[in-house]
Structure 1
């Protein structure tokens, strides 16, 4: 990704004329909206449209906004330098919000996504080599193979092609090939629906201090979705265990089962299952959501689509892309980066809580303060990205003006930066290149721009459908 400027922000935390040398006394909070007696009205506003609420409050109160939602104190931080200070310098003082982790753990168990402290460090250290740039190169044939199979089945000449569903199935197939050396095929539709249902249910549960038991009648869709996903993962694990280790293919599941065989106390089968579930869910959702928005951006910006296609033709000459081709697809990468800026898959990071008092900017904040990081809000800040809602891939060109570190962070930042960021970028670039080799995409007549909706990740409010045709040969 394009390097940014230094971390010195021209618009920093001292919006009220203070500076870190002139700290507010302990017990005072940044400005924020009136909370009333309990502040639960703020919670209701967030539950209806979290990105919209955070944008409104930033506009009214600045880059650090205090929300008093009894019994909690929450601070929304949207200054890039302060965000990096919080997530990098104060990393050891933070844990993820307990309620959010409780919701996520229903599916992810105690995977690296859920773990804290030493268990997290151990898991992260063990799993990191499986997601290194060098290892990712070995997965490129699986990515291109899945794309080639999928695209051969797509129908051109369709003015209403289900692009979102098709890309989600493709992203699922890619991750299943990398994890299990298998293909998704008959599982795709049911798995896609299950992921959607668990995301909607999980997002709703985030805004309540407790949840109704899953056996309640109105939670039938969630129960069924959890069962579908658990069966999918368990089936692959059990099938692999029926093979002799010498016959195991080289994939992520084999790596995890090797850890289990080496130390079953540190890596029980439950831990293997948890990591597989996290890899499956996180591994396909970021790519599927981003590629969905990318096709919309291509359809809505035909000149950018044409420029990217010409670069692909020049670089690849009709070949299937390899890992060695990725550096030559600079403009295509810029279109993906600009898509991630406009529509980050995780528009709001999972809230953190401080375990001890910390000083952030001019504010001395007590232990147990909660912190929310609105990634999309920073990505849409006109101070860093002029005309922020316009699709301009040239923002990420090597010779473009820089922006502060932390202003663009689609995969997070700090020690808990997304483990699969290199994998995701390689996968999206390979699929995007192969897509533009074969197809042209346009906006159907009378279609309006899709509205982004936040349910754990950012997706269109209605399943995206676009006009698909064969790319003109040149």
Structure 2
């Protein structure tokens, strides 16, 4: 067992390094890996930080030694300032209890029930936002489109609620604003004091109130309906209201009103923004690779369009699901959320991580390591097809691993596949006046730095391809 290397700490106190991480955390991690190998050690103020670049080291932290680490409290506190104390932003006994109560809401039977809502949301949004006449085309802001669809999905799944267009636009803007603000606060040397003025405070308070008021109104409406004799409902809110923790005694057996509100806020934010981001990059990649999109359409053409058996059917679309996985490898929606603080001295990957040190697992770097993914910047869905070389455990983990893996992983997997299938089955995608995708930018999730605009062309039902000459002609119009 060896002692850790001397940490990098540029004068003064490592603060320039903190600013470099904020400017471009992806590039900074890649640079550290190149210069210092699979374990890079840095120091900012009094905090010793380790970057771990091997899948096995990530697994040791998140799975094998997970009891020796905890989520870093500072980012949890910053996230709680918007999302409250929910299953995403808590740790320890509070997290364990909430996770235990909420898990049944994401059981396979619940996902199957939600699949009909997902398909309906995708179909309705496509009919309103995309060309419907065969041969017609339109230039679409992809992130705006995927946000509309996934927001509709999560509102239906959470509350059986269908948003109004103006309402969706306002909430979407609020969430974007909050993501940028929270990202800023994560890199401030000290945490902002809530009752003192600080940059972005007023906008943060307005945006937080807008999102929480929308969700509070849905909860209050359900409470009133239940007071009048209605059932709790079969959506996620209904399951939260009815859920009981078998390991607890009354009155702690159920979620409190505040816990229900906080978890609805957390699931609403995480439940649509990450899926929207993954779908945005997937559409861009399909536009870049029309030959792969055509193969996906051929695959889907051989599968029935039956909402009643949508989950079973969509899981049989192996190439479609492989393209989504490869999109999440290239552009993982969550790139820097896997951080842990050591509770005691812990041996990890041949070195000792000292008590109190912070460990970062850079998902982007793991997903772009040529040791596990040859030609790491190339879009190669065959990496995830049957017969492909077996990946090292934890080399690919867009949803995390271990006890804290994403509670909504299966929900998001089915949601993205259903939406993607309905979009690519009926439309051709082509980049509008661009030859490459925008550069990625970390704002809690990995968004395109500039707007990604794609030309959607409506396809005939019996002809699911557009020949290159037609594509070029439509792009020039």
One of 406, 422, 438 as aligned partner of 1:450: 438
Q: Which moved more, 1:385-394 or 1:255-264?
A: 255-264
| Alpha-carbon distance in structure 2 between the residues aligned to 1:83 and 1:214 | 38
Deviations 1:139-169 (A, max 9, x none): 1001011111111112324442122101101
CA contact (8 A) 2:52 2:361 kept: yes
Partner of 2:325: 337
| Alpha-carbon distance in structure 1 between the residues aligned to 2:61 and 2:198 | 42
Partner of 2:230: 246
One of 178, 191, 195 as aligned partner of 1:210: 191
Partner of 2:240: 256
Partner of 2:171: 191
Q: Which moved more, 1:447-456 or 1:33-42?
A: 33-42
Partner of 1:91: 66
Partner of 1:13: none
Partner of 1:124: 99
List gaps (5 residues or longer) in structure 2: 464-477
CA contact (8 A) 1:233 1:273 kept: yes
Confirm or deny that 1:200 pairs with 2:184: no
The DSSP-based 3-state class of the residue aligned with 2:302 is helix
| Alpha-carbon distance in structure 2 between the residues aligned to 1:446 and 1:116 | 44
Partner of 1:420: 408
Q: Cα distance, 1:46 vs. partner?
A: 0.4
The DSSP-based 3-state class of the residue aligned with 1:315 is coil
The DSSP-based 3-state class of the residue aligned with 2:43 is strand
| Alpha-carbon distance in structure 1 between the residues aligned to 2:34 and 2:93 | 39
Q: Tell me which stretches of 4 or more aligned residues in structure 1 moved more than 6 Å.
A: none
Q: Cα distance, 1:278 vs. partner?
A: 1.0
Q: Given the superposition, is the C-alpha separation of residues 214 and 386 from structure 1 closer, same or farther in structure 2, using an over 3 Å criterion?
A: farther
Partner of 1:11: none
Aligned length: 448
Confirm or deny that 1:144 pairs with 2:123: no
The DSSP-based 3-state class of the residue aligned with 1:110 is coil
List gaps (5 residues or longer) in structure 1: 1-22
CA contact (8 A) 1:338 1:393 kept: yes
Confirm or deny that 1:177 pairs with 2:165: no
Q: Cα distance, 1:448 vs. partner?
A: 3.9
Deviations 1:326-349 (A, max 9, x none): 232110000000001001110122
What TM-score, normalized to structure 2?
0.90
Partner of 2:52: 77
Deviations 1:198-234 (A, max 9, x none): 0000001001222154773742322221111111111
Q: Cα distance, 1:248 vs. partner?
A: 3.4
Partner of 1:408: 396
| Alpha-carbon distance in structure 2 between the residues aligned to 1:400 and 1:30 | 37
Q: Cα distance, 1:32 vs. partner?
A: 5.2
Within 5 Å, give how 1:271-282 maps onto structure 2.
271-282=259-270
| Alpha-carbon distance in structure 1 between the residues aligned to 2:193 and 2:80 | 16
Confirm or deny that 1:109 pairs with 2:88: no
CA contact (8 A) 2:150 2:272 kept: yes
One of 435, 459, 469 as aligned partner of 1:471: 459
Q: Given the superposition, is the C-alpha separation of residues 315 and 195 from structure 1 closer, same or farther in structure 2, using an over 3 Å criterion?
A: same
Confirm or deny that 1:160 pairs with 2:142: no
Partner of 1:353: 341
| Alpha-carbon distance in structure 2 between the residues aligned to 1:34 and 1:115 | 30
One of 363, 376, 382 as aligned partner of 2:370: 382
| Alpha-carbon distance in structure 2 between the residues aligned to 1:369 and 1:136 | 39
Q: Cα distance, 1:450 vs. partner?
A: 0.8
| Alpha-carbon distance in structure 2 between the residues aligned to 1:192 and 1:257 | 26
CA contact (8 A) 1:260 1:272 kept: no
| Alpha-carbon distance in structure 1 between the residues aligned to 2:375 and 2:6 | 27
